[in-house]
Amino acid sequence: MNSVVCISHVPDTEARIKIAGAKVDEAGLKFIVSPYDEFALEEAIRVKEKSGGDVTVVTFGPDRAQQALREALARGATKAIHVKGESGDADALGIAKVLAATIKSVPHDLVFFGKQGVGTDNGLVGPMVAELLGYPQVNVVTKLEVGDGRITAHREIEAAEEVLEAPLPAVVTAQKGLNEPRYASLKGIMAAKKVAIDTKSIADLGLDEGDVLRQRVVVVSLELPPEKSGGRKIDGADANAAAQEILNYIRSEAKAL
Amino acid sequence: MAGVLVFAEIKDGKLKKASREALTIGRKLAEAAGGELSAFASDAAAAEEAGRYGAKKVYVAGVGAYSTESYTAALAEAVSQAQPAVVLFAGTSDGRDLAPRVAARLNVGVASDVDRLEWTDGKLRARRPVYSGKAFATVEVTGTPAIATTRPNAFPAEEAGGGAAEVVNLATPAENRVKLVETHTPEAGEMSLAEADIIVSGGRGLKEAQNFSYIRDLAHAIGGAVGASRATVDAGWIDHQHQVGQTGRVVSPTLYIAAGVSGAIQHLAGMSSSKHIVAINKDPEAPIFRIADLGIVGDLFQILPALTEEVKKAKAH
Ligand SMILES: Cc1cc2nc3c(=O)[nH]c(=O)nc-3n(C[C@H](O)[C@H](O)[C@H](O)COP(=O)(O)OP(=O)(O)OC[C@H]3O[C@@H](n4cnc5c(N)ncnc54)[C@H](O)[C@@H]3O)c2cc1C
Ligand SMILES: Nc1ncnc2c1ncn2[C@@H]1O[C@H](COP(=O)(O)O)[C@@H](O)[C@H]1O
C-alpha cells in the first residue's frame, strides 16, 4: 500500500502576521508543517506500518519548504519530493496541477491532504487534485480503515458523520481527530538526514510554468482586521444582576432573541 | 454570460439557510451584472422556494443524496447550459466538497469562504478571511465562470417575492464510486455550529465533562448550538464536532457566548468575526475580554444558570 502525502509549509499558528503589499511579510516568521497535514502524514505512516509500502511526501514551495519534508521524513515518511517554485504566487488550481503531475510520477494507492492549509484557509487543493487525477475523494476524514483495494472513511458533516466506502486509488483529506500525530524521534531525525530529497522544477513535470502561476484568483489587497477595542466589562459578583445585563444586551443590541 | 448560478441544497424538503443566503447575494450579483439568477437542485421541489429568492430557472438532476461525483457531473452540465458568469456554493460540508471539484473540471479558480461579494468592472470581487481571520484578503476571480463559496451567516437571506422558478431537467449522470454506508448522528437534536445564529461555548473553566450541562442548558433555552475550546475537546469532555477555532470550526454567528474560555489566539481565530460576543470569565485579565462586546467578570457556575433562567422567562413572554 503506497501513499503520497501533500504537505504545505506555513507560518506558525501563533505567529503575528505582518503585511507587505498584498502579501504576508515572511521575514522573521517561523514556519511549520500545516497542522492538518500532520494528521494526513501520521495516517499514511500508520498505513505503511500495517501493510508496508512507501510514504512519499510532496511539497511545492520555495527552498525553505525542504524543512517540512525533513520533518516528515524524521517522523517516518520514506521518500520526499520537492517541487521548487513560488507556490505563494500560484492559486489553488495552479498548486493542484503541480501536485497532480507529481503524484502521477510515483506509485500510489492513497493520496493524502490536509482538509485545509493554514494561512490560505482554502480547503481546495485536495478535491482539485482528485478531479485532475479522476479519483474518488473523501473529504474531512476523522477515521480511516484500509481494506483490500478499498477504504472505509468517516467524513465529518454538519452535526453528523457519514461512513463512506471508496475504491482505490483515492484522495483523502484529513481532519483533526483522525489520529494523534507522533513527534520525530532522535533516531528518525538522524535517519532522515540520509534520505535524498528528489528536487524538481515545474518544467521537469512537463507543465507550463505560465499556466501554473497564472492566477485565477488574484489577491488585490491584504489587510489586518480592525483592532477590536473590547467593549464593556462589568463585575459579575451578583449573578442575577449580571444575567439581567446579558439578557438586555442580547435583546437590545445583539437582537438575537 | 452575465448570470449567476447557485447550488441550492435541500434539507428536509426545504432550502438550507446557507443556500438561501447564497441565493440572496447571488441575486444581487446578477442584478449588478445584468443577468439572471438560476439555481441547481437535486429536486424540482426546490423551484418554488428558489423562485421566492429570485431564481428564474432551477436546473434539476435526479441525483439523490449528495455524492461528489454525480453532483460534479450534474453541476458541470448545469453550468454548460446556463453559461453563468458566477457560480456560488454555500460553504456547507457538501458545498466545500463540491466547489473545488467543479472548478477543477472547468479549469477555473475558487474564492473560498468569502464574507463579502460584489460585481465590479465586469469581475467578481470577494473578501475572505485568511490566516484564520488574522487578515482579510480581497481577491478578484478572473475565470469564467468565477466560483466562490460563501461563509454561512455572513450574508443575509432575503426573499425577493418571485414566483416559482422554471424547472429545467438535466440528464441523470453516471454512478458514484463512493458509496454511503451509513450516517451517524451522534447527538440527535443538536444544532450544527456552522449554520447556528447563536453559539454558547464552554472552556476548561467548566472543570469537568459533566459540567457541559451548564452550556447545553443555556444553548437549549436560547436556541443555539454548543461550542467548545480545544482544551475541553482534548480532555475528552465533548466531541471534536463542537470545537471552535483554528483547528476546529470557524464560525460567525450573530451572538457568541463564551464561558470559561481564556481566549487563546487559536480560539479567537475561529470566532472573532462573530457579530456580538459575550464573555464570562473569572479572570479580569483573560484575553477573551479584549474582543468581547460585553464582558462579565465572574463565576460561570453562578451566572450561566441565572442567565438560562432569565432566557427561559423572556421566551415564555
Ligand atoms: C496548533 C494549535 C491549534 C489550536 N487550535 C485550537 C482551536 O481550534 N480551538 C481552541 O479553542 N484552541 C486551540 N488551541 C489551543 C489554545 O492554544 C488553548 O490552549 C485553548 O484554547 C485553551 O482552552 P480554554 O480557554 O478552554 O482553557 P484555558 O486557557 O485553561 O482557560 C480556562 C479559562 O476558564 C476561566 N475559568 C476558570 N474557572 C472559571 C469559572 N468558575 N468561571 C468563569 N471562568 C472560569 C479561567 O480564568 C481561564 O481563563 C490550539 C493550539 C495550537 C498550538
Ligand atoms: N504548496 C503545497 N505543497 C504541497 N501540498 C499542498 C500545498 N498547498 C496545499 N497543499 C495541500 O492541500 C491541502 C489543502 O490546502 P488549501 O487548499 O490551500 O487549503 C493542504 O492541507 C495540503 O495537504
CATH of B4-169, one of 2.40.110.10, 3.40.50.300, 3.40.50.620, 3.40.50.1220: 3.40.50.620
pLDDT of residue B161: 86
Q: Where are the beta strands (DSSP E) in chain B?
A: 4-7, 10-11, 14-15, 37-41, 57-60, 86-90, 110-114, 116-120, 123-130, 135-141, 146-150, 166-169, 179-184, 198-202, 225-228, 255-259, 276-281, 294-297
Q: Using CB atoms, pick whichever of B112, B191, B276 lies closest to residue A254.
A: B276
Residue A217 maps to a domain: no
Residue A22 maps to a domain: yes
Question: Which residues in chain B have Cβ-Cβ distances shorter than 8 Å to A11?
Answer: 131
Our answer on whether the CB atom of A102 is closer than 6 Å to any ligand 2 atom is no
Is residue B9 predicted with pLDDT exceeding 60? yes
Nearest CA to A147 out of A126, A131, A170 is that of: A170
| Banded pLDDT at A253 (limits 50, 70, 90) | confident
pLDDT of residue B273: 85
- Give the CATH number, domain containing residue A15: 3.40.50.620
| pTM for the predicted model, two decimal places | 0.86
Q: Where are the beta strands (DSSP E) in B37-80?
A: 37-41, 57-60
Nearest-angstrom CA–CA distance, B111 and A22:
16
Quick check: helix, strand or coil at residue B82?
helix
pLDDT of residue A229: 66
- Residue B80 has a CB neighbour count (10 Å cut-off) of 10
Q: Using CB atoms, pick whichever of B143, B176, B182 lies closest to residue A216.
A: B143
Residue A27 maps to a domain: yes
| Banded pLDDT at A228 (limits 50, 70, 90) | low
Burial B272-299 (b: 16+ CB within 10 A, else e): bbbbbbbbbbbeeebbbbbbbbbbbbbb
Ligand 1 pocket test target in B132, B257, B266 with most atoms within 8 Å of CB? B266
Range of the domain at A148: 3-212
pLDDT of residue A160: 84
Q: In a mutagenesis test of the A interface, which of B101, B200, B252 is the best target, namely the one with the most A β-carbons within 10 Å?
A: B101
Please check whether residue B38 is in contact with residue B58, taking contact to mean a CB–CB distance below 8 angstroms. Answer: yes
Nearest-angstrom CA–CA distance, B259 and B280:
5
Rounded to the nearest whole angstrom, what is the distance from the C-alpha of residue B273 to the centroid of ligand 1? 18
| Banded pLDDT at A159 (limits 50, 70, 90) | confident
Is residue A139 predicted with pLDDT exceeding 90? yes
The CATH class for the domain spanning B198-316 reads alpha beta
pLDDT in tens, B248-306: 888 889 999 999 999 999 999 899 889 999 999 999 999 999 999 999 999 999 999 99
pLDDT of residue B187: 58
Contact B297 A163 (CB under 8 A): no
pLDDT in tens, B107-141: 999 999 999 999 999 999 999 999 888 899 999 99
- What ranges do the domains of chain B cover? 4-169, 198-316
Residue A86 maps to a domain: yes
Domain count for chain A, please give it: 1
Lowest-pLDDT choice from A9-18, A197-206, B41-50: A9-18
Omega before B186 cis (within 30°)? no
